[in-house]
Chain A
């Protein structure tokens, strides 16, 4: 990713993030979150993580934030526009921000800032040699072919990681989401006695 693109999308993201709290209108804030997410997705794409970037847009921008916007519009939050600025939440927010920044700085300070190898054909071919057989998924399949051809099959790599190394966590997460969905329906469903 050329660095000017990185700075541009970072700027989009930061402006979006600031706008979320700067706007008093809830719909404008929600749209600022969308802007922020689009910038984030662009950064993912810039890191050659196309799948993650697209899922970011598909799930968060295209589904979650649409529902947020939907709720905000239906609630018609007019009072929110006129609300005064209370001191304690602002101080709390500032404190959280400072704590997070301090943590980030401390992590970055201890991290040796070594440049990772470029994602060129050489690196990819080397990476294909490190693939190992895992069950019925062989190391000489589509992934190795794509890596040897010098392209990054990021969807296949994520799928491989999910279904080999993280298979059990994935299943558990699926069950967890299902339970959450069922629980949500059970809680929100009001049954009235049938007269």
Chain B
């Protein structure tokens, strides 16, 4: 019975919530970029109703090209799955799976909503309520890099290999900024369980909107003070997610103008589609993580959440479904932000990317950890120690900025 429920949850949340978000975000991508570029975009593809004996006047089912992702999928399925002769076959086949599977596995620790009650049984809307949520996501997501690296290497061809190597370097670099930037948040909540983090945000204000639920242990001044490290962490985390998912300002692994198509140049048909799906699934999960940690997850905010979660209709507690809808709405909004960034900001240069990661974000995240620790610990410390800590932090920050500028001064002095 327990296993059966778990299976239902996996199917419902991973395959009916996260996976459909992938084609939906592809559709949004195409429509949104069309809006930005003053084009129309795919707006025609609908269900071919005439095939089923309907008149064409029932256009509501295919409105605005919503069926476009299905058509894309069918096209990719029907294409010839060509395996070039010069590839290393086993790895060539392994790589697409290694890209798409980890992104879907990470969905299991995301809290999608408050528990649902049905037939007297209460079920949490999270597949595995682990106490190590964000770490689990980072760990599993870090396996994605193998998929891209192996794809590049097994293609046995120059440009895909360069794409794979670039992606390895990029993802390893930004994993560090990603991991460091979330530490202030974990310090603040004192918990690594994503469900608890969201619950705390629902009760005492979102991390970036701490405007309700003040009490003795969560005073308004501390929350407002913590807004600053939280905002810095949010900025670093979001940009690092962009780099981790190989999205546009940082899409070097597939940089068309330099590398043909990057690591997936030699792939066709469904194998290519799996890389494509992997990228979008990583984007969906990344958005879900940002929303969960910084923007309140499934919470509607302003103290309405306990009311929503207690809603029920004849023994069916449907409040969780409303929270699920709120969560999906937030995730879709963040995906739209991803898309907006992709179509507005041009691609960085590779050295700029590395410099941003190692010289700016790494140090900023490190200083941010100390700033957050100082703010979190301040109520328990004496005034002199706090001011001493603040002074020390200021000196360290100044020293880091100075070092960063010095390292900028003579770029031609080092030769590897």
A interface vs B, CB < 8 Å?
Answer: 27, 31, 34, 50-51, 54-55, 57-58, 61-63, 66-67, 69-70, 73-74, 136, 142, 151-155, 189-192, 194
Contact = CB atoms under 8 A, between A and B. Distances in A.
Contact of B135 (A54, A66, A153, A192): A54
Nearest to A154: B131
B142 A58 contact: yes
A159 to B, nearest CB: 10
Contact of B413 (A31, A154, A191): A191
Contact of A190 (B130, B171, B415): B415
Interface stretch (B33-41, B76-84, B143-151, B398-406): B143-151
Contacts of A62: 138-139, 142-143, 145, 175
Interface residues of B, number: 33
Query: Which 5 pairs of residues, A with B, have the shortest CB-CB distance?
Result: A62-B142, A58-B139, A57-B139, A54-B139, A54-B135
29 contacts: A27-B150, A31-B91, A31-B150, A34-B146, A50-B130, A50-B131, A51-B131, A54-B132, A57-B143, A58-B138, A58-B142, A61-B139, A61-B142, A62-B143, A63-B172, A66-B145, A66-B146, A66-B149, A66-B172, A69-B168, A70-B169, A73-B149, A142-B190, A154-B131, A155-B132, A189-B414, A190-B416, A192-B415, A194-B410
B326 to A, nearest CB: 27
Nearest to B179: A58
Contact of B140 (A55, A57, A70, A74): A57
Contacts of B130: 50
For chain B, what secondary structure do more than half of its interface residues adopt (helix, strand, loop), or is it mixed? Answer: helix
A32 to B, nearest CB: 12
Contacts of A54: 132, 135-136, 139
A113 B207 CA distance: 49
Contacts of B318: none
A55 B135 CA distance: 8
B192 A155 contact: yes
Contacts of A142: 190-191
Contacts, number: 82
Nearest to B377: A136
Contacts of A34: 146
Contacts of A50: 130-132, 136
Given A62-B145, A136-B380, A27 B91 contact: yes
For chain A, what secondary structure do more than half of its interface residues adopt (helix, strand, loop), or is it mixed? Answer: helix
Interface string B103-147: 000000000000000000000000000111001101110110110
Nearest to B136: A54
B253 to A, nearest CB: 14
B132 A61 contact: no
Interface of B: 91, 130-132, 135-136, 138-140, 142-143, 145-146, 149-150, 153, 161, 164-165, 168-169, 171-172, 175, 190-192, 380, 410, 413-416
B175 A70 contact: no
B142 A70 contact: no
B122 to A, nearest CB: 16
Contacts of B380: 136
A63 B150 CA distance: 15
Contacts of B190: 142
B149 A69 contact: yes
A51 B415 contact: no
A119 B149 CA distance: 40
A74 B414 contact: no
A70 B165 contact: yes
B153 A27 contact: yes
A77 to B, nearest CB: 12
Given A62-B175, A155-B132, 8 more contacts: A34-B146, A58-B142, A69-B146, A70-B165, A74-B165, A151-B131, A155-B131, A190-B415
Contacts of B142: 57-58, 61-63, 66
Contacts of B136: 50, 54
Nearest to A152: B131
A62 B132 CA distance: 16
Nearest to A69: B149
A190 B198 CA distance: 49
B164 to A, nearest CB: 8
A33 B340 CA distance: 40
B278 to A, nearest CB: 16
A97 to B, nearest CB: 28
A74 B164 CA distance: 11
Contacts of A51: 131-132, 135
A57 B141 CA distance: 10
Contacts of A27: 91, 150, 153
Most buried by B among A62, A155, A191, A192: A62
